[in-house]
Amino acid sequence: MKIQNISLPEKYKDKLIKIKWHLWHGNADKALSKLSNLIEEIPPKYRDQLKKLKTYLNNNSDKIVNYQKRQEQGLVFTSNLAESTVESLIN
């Protein structure tokens, strides 16, 4: 998993990738715990974006699904279908 377009020192990106892994697998609590640790560890100038992410995850943790499991079951796990349908309707 690549982390693109994020202004975070390279040595912290691996931790962010692990947080993303937990989210992908539906484990919001574990991701939030690791994110809290990362926020405390990184230099202050990088904390605002991650604090916003933490707030978002706290507010939506009950809606985080296990995307890996959905993919394995052949279920939709992206919003591409809905987005393309809306785009078609608008056009």
Report pLDDT for 5.
Answer: 54
24-58 burial, b if ≥16 CB within 10 A, otherwise e? bbbbbeebbebbeebbeebeeebeeebeebbeebe
The list of the chain residues with pLDDT below 50 reads 1-2, 91
Question: Within 13 A of 70's CA, how many CA atoms are on the CB side?
Answer: 11
Q: Are 59 and 68 in contact (CB under 8 A)?
A: no
Phi, psi (deg, nearest 5) at residue 43: -60, 145
Convert the pLDDT of each residue in 58-82 to its tens digit: 998 888 888 888 888 888 766 666 6
User: What's the pTM?
Assistant: 0.74
Report pLDDT for 77.
Answer: 63
Phi, psi (deg, nearest 5) at residue 42: -80, 160
